[in-house]
Structure 1
Amino acid sequence: MSSLRITLIGGPTALIEIDGFRLLTDPTFDAPGAYQLPHVRLEKLTGPALAAGQVGPVDAVLLSHDQHSDNLDHSGKDFLRQAKRVLTTEAGAKRLGGHVEGLAPWATTELMGKDGRSLTITATPARHGPAGIEPLSGDVIGFVLSSKERSPVYISGDTVWFDGVAEVARRFKAGVVLPFAGAAQTRGPFHLTMDTNDTIETARAFPDAVIVPLHTDGWAHFRQSASDLRASFDTLGFGARLKLLEPGVATVIEPPHPPASS
């Protein structure tokens, strides 16, 4: 089984090297600064560990959603133009135009490699906050990466724990899960991404998975950090399953082998 390498660039942005393919999640390459959105102001505190030009070519960008600057900033939009493929929500594809492809939850597409390998990408449901938030937050998706080489990899996108994430766990026995944690909070008393409790619930739903959190640090509206996740996982006995990434360092993640066919 070929190795899976993940390089955290910052926030939700990570380079995933899997089965000969190079994928980038939610590109954010701007320097620290503020963004005034229609209903909220976001402040970026930490710049990227790698500049856009240091990433190199990617086979696809996996963009959970385009409407928030902490998931797609100015430099990130520039990066989309050079990517071979960009996969995002159907609404986002209409807004971004060009070669951006929209996927509804549970829709699939394939990446084909020169060596005959293929990677199936499935869009997964996500809810960017509590029930009823959709008209305010807009559409979001996550992604599952599947191949014959390994157990699936699940990237949650900006979501809280809800029945859609539970359904992903029922359909896919993921060996690696990348939850977007950090308990983002802007307006109101509720969080918009997974907090420590949500992340623990996700770990319980995927009992055989290594948990590799993204989107935990670097923005003023995050209420919990990677260190909070470490403390919670250790206290509750899940610590051995949590893998925290050092920004800018390519880290090999060893998921379990897929079950043998009968």
Structure 2
Amino acid sequence: MGLAGAVGLTWAVRAAWGLPASMGASATSIAPRAAGSASYRDRQFHNTEPSTQFAPGSGLSLLFSALTRNGVGRPPGEIPLATPDVPPEPGELAVTWYGHASALVEVDGYRILTDPVWSERVSPSPTIGPARLHPAPVPLDQLPPVDAIVISHDHYDHLDRDTVRALTTSQDAPFIVPIGIGAHLRKWRVPEQRIVELDWGTSVSLSELGRARNGELTITCTEARHFSGRGLTRNTTLWASWVIAGPARRVYFGGDTGYTKAFAEIGATMGPFDLTLLPIGAYDVHWPDVHMNPEEAVRAHADVCVGDPGRGLLIPIHWATFNLAFHDWSEPVQRVVAAARAAGTAVAVPLPGQRIDANAASPQVPWWEDVRK
């Protein structure tokens, strides 16, 4: 074998290293838990609304975009970070955004960590797949103690094996996840007593988990319009959004979703909300059913706030950290700010690492406009 062949073999080995473990549990091991869900049939979960992962007839256009626009989602300059300023005790209503869908939500004296991903790549491989556009604002082991870790679904940019394993050691909080994801966690040696799997419309209170201390806090698994899968087999685990309800405050975490009529239903039964975290990035005409665009996110905020666009505070997530679509890096935030202004919706766009206190709102600084070459 020549030098080039040896280098190629070494690269291939590195790319494949740890793939089976990172991919998680098999469909066979997931199925026994999944079978009890009303959304599960023919060995797959299904959206309530008809949806497709890719728009019909989009194959050639999608290939052209992949060949010509793959790099447009990279920022033109360095993304600024904020040093997280997390108080010793959790507040009434605040969010520290770490990038993408990873956030620390403070509700009525509790801390809830959402979709934590600290790895360099959102991929089963350490060398292939979308890489971070900015570093994590804080080392994972420097997070304050959290009361629960909530996962929206099992895609690599929302469920990361290395992050889960690190949190299993550094935190003692339960992982609250949609049905099926528990199989991934068990494969990664998360203790059974720390895994709570929920179906759409079901809840768990922190008192049930022995963690209540500041009044009751309830976490409810709610519908989303998306899909799941960490390999070629799709939809073996459920995807979800989440309602985090304390004695006085309510937060809606959208996770990753296309626009859906379920937002209005969630608002009618569980809203309105004081704060929403809604995805605004990685949208495209080729996959309109599974990712919202920024204007739809503003509409979704109004829906879960019982038709009142002026109620609560919208925190946009699912942008800035990974290049997962064909739009410009700052396009999602520019569009969501404009749409929110037109709708009369309060929006706050934190720097990665910045804490936003909903009770002490300050003027928005358009920091994304300063990301230049």
TM-score range, shorter chain: 0.7 to 0.9
* Structure 2: distance between partners of 1:142 and 1:125: 6
Q: Which residue of 2 aligns with 1:100?
A: 195
* Structure 2: distance between partners of 1:36 and 1:241: 37
CA contact (8 A) 1:80 1:86 kept: no
Residue identity opposite 1:10 in structure 2: G
Q: Which moved more, 1:205-214 or 1:20-29?
A: 205-214
* Structure 2: distance between partners of 1:83 and 1:249: 24
Say whether residues 1:78 and 2:184 are aligned partners: no
CA spacing shift, 1:183–1:114, aligned 2, 3 Å: closer
CA contact (8 A) 1:30 1:47 kept: no
CA spacing shift, 1:197–1:100, aligned 2, 3 Å: same
* Structure 2: distance between partners of 1:80 and 1:159: 25
- Post-superposition CA distance 1:12-37 (Å, at most 9, x none): 00011222211100011123x46258
Give the fraction of aligned pairs with identical amino acids, expressed as a percent: 23
Q: Which residue of 1 aligns with 2:215?
A: 117
Residue 216 of structure 1 and its aligned partner are, at CA, apart by 1.7
Query: Which structure's CA Rg is the greater one?
Result: 2
Aligned counterparts, 1:59-74, within 5 A: 59-65=147-153, 67-74=154-161
Q: Which residue of 2 aligns with 1:259?
A: none
Say whether residues 1:252 and 2:252 are aligned partners: no
Aligned counterparts, 1:223-262, within 5 A: 223=327, 224-234=331-341, 236-238=342-344, 240-254=345-359
* Structure 2: distance between partners of 1:241 and 1:60: 27
Say whether residues 1:23 and 2:116 are aligned partners: no
Q: Which moved more, 1:103-112 or 1:217-226?
A: 217-226
* Structure 2: distance between partners of 1:204 and 1:143: 16
Q: Which residue of 2 aligns with 1:189?
A: 286
| Runs of 4+ residues deviating >6 angstroms | none
Residue identity opposite 1:163 in structure 2: K
* Structure 1: distance between partners of 2:106 and 2:275: 13
- Post-superposition CA distance 1:165-213 (Å, at most 9, x none): 221111121121111221345xx81143221132122133122221111
Residue 41 of structure 1 and its aligned partner are, at CA, apart by 4.5
Residue identity opposite 1:175 in structure 2: D
Residue 77 of structure 1 and its aligned partner are, at CA, apart by 1.7
Q: Which moved more, 1:76-85 or 1:21-30?
A: 76-85
Q: Which residue of 1 aligns with 2:146?
A: 58
CA spacing shift, 1:83–1:180, aligned 2, 3 Å: farther
CA spacing shift, 1:114–1:70, aligned 2, 3 Å: closer
Q: Which residue of 2 aligns with 1:200?
A: 298
CA contact (8 A) 1:61 1:80 kept: no
* Structure 2: distance between partners of 1:20 and 1:144: 16
Residue 114 of structure 1 and its aligned partner are, at CA, apart by 5.7
* Structure 1: distance between partners of 2:302 and 2:218: 25
- Post-superposition CA distance 1:45-94 (Å, at most 9, x none): 222112201212211101111x2111122432224413421001111112
Q: Which residue of 2 aligns with 1:147?
A: 246
CA contact (8 A) 2:219 2:243 kept: yes
CA contact (8 A) 1:23 1:60 kept: yes
Question: How many residues get paired?
Answer: 240
More helix by share: 2
SS for the counterpart of 2:105 is: strand
* Structure 2: distance between partners of 1:106 and 1:75: 29
Residue identity opposite 1:4 in structure 2: L
- Post-superposition CA distance 1:87-141 (Å, at most 9, x none): 0111111232233211001101111456451101111011116xxxxx8455211
**From 261, 271, 276, the counterpart of 1:163:** 261
CA contact (8 A) 2:122 2:160 kept: no
* Structure 1: distance between partners of 2:256 and 2:142: 25
SS for the counterpart of 1:174 is: coil
More strand by share: 1
SS for the counterpart of 2:180 is: helix
Q: Which residue of 2 aligns with 1:47?
A: 135
The TM-score, its normalising length taken from structure 2, stands at 0.59
